[in-house]
Chains A and B, each alone.
Chain A
Amino acid sequence: MGQAVAALLSKGQLCLWGRQRPAQLPAELQHLPWCDSVAEACSSAEVVVVTVPISAMREVVREFGLVARGDQVVLFVARGVEPGFVLPHTIFRQETCVRKIGVLGGPLQAFAPQPGQPTAVVVGSHYTDPALIVRALSEEAATLVYPTRDLTGVEVAAAIGNVTSMAVGMAQALELGDTVRGLLLTRGLAEAARLGRELGAVSQTFASLAGLGALIPHPAQSLDRHILLGQALAQAVPALKSVDPGAANPDLDGPVSAAEAVQLSLQRHFTLPLVEAVDRVVRGQMGAAQALADVMHRGLDFGEEFSRHTTVDVGLRELERWV
């Protein structure tokens, strides 16, 4: 992921830092200087791009906080949340003085861009500088940059998007077909929007590039890691003991996002059936087939529009009595 972003921002003067220095960098990045510490990499930088997964973010951001300045712009790509449903941008706010924080969302996160093909990225930030910088540092024609102020919405869409991918993976392993895949994607988006609204996000973000737009490009046979995780979960026999969501692979944020989303929904009295289903499967409380069946075969839900009585209706009923 980090390498993809570095390729995206190729016009800038980059220097790299990583938790582990890779043995071999891709060709286009080999000429870049390597820094030995976060402080060295960030102290004179105008733009800091953080591409570590959410589980490692706080430690890295804390080190960055030692040298951070108010005029720096920060970009990050991490999906998922910390326990307590702490969104990634909050980590920056809690650990540093930096304000111009931007999340890179949309299809860019789904998979690395193919060389030569245009890419699209959503930049979610309360400030205009992050989007301007992404625009300035990427190849003009090839990158479509869409700014939005709904930073929270982009993060929630990304977090729940991975949970949805897990559900899709399960459905694929169970060979439930394309209709079910569509149903799950739709449900996933709706639940992401429900959760996002609770946190102050805008509903439209979930129907936009950051939400829907990130799910559409997935080919049916995708190598996305969360889809693969879902497939693996569906094929495994449910364990009799409960499993800690964060234990599996710390680079996969889906399980933690699901667990934390369920906690939040319980606290605030609303339901997220699909997210709950995924969470139960992860914890080994239920098999994938049963969990998905529960989500799909819910009772008839006559929405609000069925309970409204308009004055016209009442009037007609009155008329009927007299006629």
Chain B
Amino acid sequence: MRREDQERILTAVHDHVVQEVSQLGTELGAVRVGQPMDEVLAASVYHQRQRQKDRSSRTTGRTFAAPGSFGFAGDARRNNQIFWDHIQQRLGRANSIEQRSLLSQVIYRYAYDVCGNFDERVYSLARQALPPLLAALLNASSPKRLLTRLPDLAPLENAVLLQGEREHVRRLHEIGTVILAPTHGSNLDSVILAFAILQMGLPPFIYGAARDLFDNPLIGFFLHNLGAYTVDRRNEDPLYKRVLKEYATLTLEYGYNNLFFPGGARSRSGALERHLKLGLAGTAIRAYVHNLQRQAPRPKLFVVPATLSYQLVLEAETLIDDFLQDVGKSRYIITDDEFSRPRRVYDFITQLFALDSKIYVTLGRGLDPFGNPVDDHGESMDPHGRRIDCSAYVRKDGAFACEPQRDAEYTHDLAHSMSATFSRDNVIQATHLTARAIFTLLRRQQPQADMLRLIRVGAPQDEGLPLRAVYSETRQLLQRVRTLCRQGLVRQSASVAGLGAEDLISEGLHHFNTYHRAPAAQRRGDRIVARDRGLLFFYQNRLEGYGLEDLHHLSPTLSPDHRFLRSP
């Protein structure tokens, strides 16, 4: 992002949020009922105190300072403590003018934190601390150079298959501002997407990266090129969230393309996300209304759903383990998974390339902020493909305005459209089918067992499944999947389209044998033995939501929103 824009945006963020909070109606037409300022500040202090308490009781192994902080980790914490002590102290005796000043200080602090002024010292430190191999990676200055330096690895270009509405998305970028909304299954997604964006010849997208990600210097490097801003997921202060949303909205108004994951976190179950977070999705409408109000030359915003599909997921073992823990104790933020171990990441990438495994990135048709599809000229279409004027949705009595309740409903519709697109653009691969076939046979062996028991405990004597049965099951699944494909309800990889059941199982098992600590399933003579049922469950979940369980009168494994196991 250009420096002058950043400064202007920071000022605007501050001004807008202050206005929101201090009960002043804005000339832009959005009248908000504000909260008493001291309450807002007291809430902020409370949240920060809670966090400091939590942090002091948790042991931190991190030695790098997060970007946007003012020094080393220890310094940053002390700085934080001093700042919030100061706020709390003055808040007790502040009159309304002083409160306004305190509010400004807090908002600016949050805003600078979000903006992410990268500290060069972080990167020099990282380079010194890492083994030589990774230091070599960091020395490269562009993603392409980086990859050609690694010996006998197929270029990323071969591994990543960018398909779908490529040309359409490029046109949308010329017409207005694009928000890319991809599915999220792995922390490698950011890297893959960065590459895809480069492939399309588009400038880097503004992206809110979780602060934890910057601890991994390899990814931090890519994110820097992306123009990322920091999102502190542990900060629960509503004021911080307002600052974050305002920042994202303003970057959109300034014409910067954005990227955010509507699912929020990586899919723990392996299934496509159906429960979408609407906070950032709602910024599209706000930015659009503001654009219309100031008669901006290019007011339109387009949301492009992108569906990623891997044969193998780097963090699968940690993710499914977390999912299967007691519901509610599932960790929202996981920082100590496979992604934080550079060796593991390196292994994964090299093995994926060696297997010539494809990572599919399917770009969907653009949507307007209300969930309607748009044509190649960026015009919104109604259900019969007729052009409509989408500014009508936000027009009342001749003027454009935001209306929180109404806009939340529109965003809900947008989420529905995104979800439907993910489902259609999902690419089924050999590992998914193999896992599904095996897991379904296991379920049919014990139809009464609930999922947890089936996965954790398994059968008393596991002699495995006869190969013939697995082939037969796969054939049935293939038939259904291919029918769904013809109907445009799902996609299939090249292998799934072209191979027979035996070859597909072979490919699936080969992949399983290559990367994870224990293979999900293994062939032993004329039987297939399930070695890690959790992993099988994870990969088979990619086929949840298509009604395939009807084949054997089984019920779905997951709840309708794919967040939990299905309640019996």
Q: A: which residues have CB within 8 A of B?
A: 65-66, 68-72, 93-97, 99-100, 126-129
Contacts and interface: CB of A to CB of B under 8 A. Distances in A.
Contacts of B372: 97
Contact of A70 (B370, B383, B384): B370
B382 A96 contact: yes
A99 B382 contact: no
Given A69-B392, A70-B392, A128-B405, A97 B413 contact: no
B405 A127 contact: yes
B54 interface: no
8 contacts: A69-B388, A70-B390, A71-B392, A72-B392, A96-B382, A97-B383, A126-B409, A129-B406
Interface string B380-401: 1011101011111101100000
A97 B406 contact: no
Nearest to A94: B383
B564 interface: no
Given A68-B388, A99-B370, 20 more contacts: A65-B382, A65-B386, A69-B388, A69-B389, A70-B389, A70-B390, A70-B392, A71-B392, A71-B396, A72-B392, A93-B383, A94-B383, A97-B380, A97-B382, A99-B410, A99-B413, A100-B406, A126-B409, A127-B405, A128-B405
Contacts of B393: 70-71, 99
What DSSP secondary structure best describes chain A's contact surface? loop
A128 B406 CA distance: 7
Nearest to B380: A97
Which 3 pairs of residues, A with B, have the shortest CB-CB distance?
A70-B392, A97-B382, A70-B393
A71 B370 CA distance: 12
A322 to B, nearest CB: 34
A128 B396 CA distance: 13
Given A99-B409, A127-B406, A128-B405, A66 B395 contact: no
A72 B395 CA distance: 10
Contacts of B406: 100, 127-129
A117 to B, nearest CB: 32
B24 to A, nearest CB: 24
Contacts of A94: 383
B386 A66 contact: yes
Contacts of A100: 406
Interface of B: 370, 372, 380, 382-384, 386, 388-393, 395-396, 405-406, 409-410, 412-413
A95 B382 CA distance: 8
A201 to B, nearest CB: 15
B271 to A, nearest CB: 20
Contacts of A70: 370, 388-393, 395
A292 B370 CA distance: 48
A96 B388 CA distance: 10
A97 B405 contact: no
A68 B393 CA distance: 11
A189 B412 CA distance: 30
A99 B391 CA distance: 13
A69 B370 CA distance: 13
Contacts of B382: 65, 68, 96-97
A68 B406 CA distance: 18
A231 to B, nearest CB: 41
A99 B386 CA distance: 16
Contacts of B392: 69-72
Contacts of B412: 126
B20 to A, nearest CB: 21
Given A70-B388, A70-B392, A96 B383 contact: yes
A229 B123 CA distance: 80
Contacts of A95: 383-384
B395 A71 contact: yes
Nearest to B398: A71
A25 B384 CA distance: 36
Identify which of B370, B380, B383, B413 gathers the most chain A CB atoms within 10 Å of its CB. B383
Contacts of A97: 372, 380, 382-383, 388
Nearest to A97: B382
Nearest to B381: A97
A97 B391 CA distance: 12
Nearest to A129: B406
Nearest to A200: B560
A93 B412 CA distance: 14
A123 B63 CA distance: 59
Contacts of B390: 70
Nearest to B384: A65
B552 to A, nearest CB: 15
B409 A127 contact: yes
Nearest to A100: B406
Contacts of B395: 70-71
A95 B372 CA distance: 13
A12 B8 CA distance: 47
Give the most central of A65, A70, A128: most B CB within 10 Å.
A70
A126 B383 CA distance: 19
A187 B164 CA distance: 51
A71 B391 CA distance: 9
A66 B478 CA distance: 41
Contacts of A127: 405-406, 409
B411 to A, nearest CB: 12
A97 B380 CA distance: 10
A66 B384 CA distance: 9
A63 to B, nearest CB: 12
A5 B409 CA distance: 27
A189 B405 CA distance: 31
